[in-house]
Amino acid sequence: MSNKFHTPHINASPEDFAKTVLMPGDPQRSQFIAETFLEDAKLVNNVRGIQGYTGTYKGKRVSVMASGMGMPSIGIYSYELYNFFGVDNIIRIGSAGGISESIKLRDIIIGQGASTTTNFAVQYGLEGTFAPIASYELMKVAIEEADKIGASYAVGNLLSSDIFYNADPEASKKWKRMGILGVEMEAAALYMNAAYAGKRALAICTVSDHLFTGESLDAESRRSSFTEMMEIALNTAIRFEE
């Protein structure tokens, strides 16, 4: 008999989730991954349309569930997965805007760290500034898997921003000067939740547009580019399944 654990955001049982969850922002991307890559995928959560699935990939259990947009949203879902549903690893797979001149469209950024504009860390009452970083174990394996498929990737610092439309036109230039590779909106909160729970997290992002060149991918190109990122994340996930 299933032992459902009801939170305001997830209606499932701990056993419904694998130990590793891939977390795209978009619920439709969650569905795409489940239908394209997973065998015997089962919808285990659909509260507020945030689709979560569990199936098998190369014979190993893997879950995928959307996070929604922004750090408040991924902060909720990752906290509940880590603390209430027994999840050990969350791998964010999403899009990023390129900032560094070394980053090109369709490149993959593996987020070693996540600088941020958020006040998410205030809740911990730390007497200083917390530096959100990825799990070295997850990151090391993801790099190995990226090398196996010959992906074009960079490892470094992401910017997790609370702002999509910034009133300061110089903001991106300032972050670029500090070596930021790309900007997204979720990784820092995920990394902090993982640190507080004693779990592992990693953000892997595909560059869908570039803030300085003005280049961007159309919908179909984004779909095909994201597939490579998904394969890296899936192959990483199964190496942490018993």
Residues 117-168 have pLDDT tens digits of 999 999 999 999 999 999 999 999 999 999 999 999 999 999 999 999 999 9
- pLDDT grade, residue 28 (50/70/90)? confident
Query: Which residues are annotated as catalytic?
Result: 209
CATH of the domain at 224: 3.40.50.1580
Give the chain's domain count.
1
Please answer whether residues 225 and 208 qualify as being in contact, where contact means their C-beta atoms are separated by less than 8 angstroms: yes
pLDDT of residue 1: 39
Interval 192-197 mean pLDDT: 98
Quote the tokens at residue 94.
Answer: 């999403």
Count CB atoms within 10 A of the CB of residue 173: 12
Query: What domain range includes position 72?
Result: 5-240
- pLDDT grade, residue 226 (50/70/90)? confident
pLDDT in tens, 66-114: 999 999 999 999 999 999 999 999 999 999 999 999 999 999 999 999 9
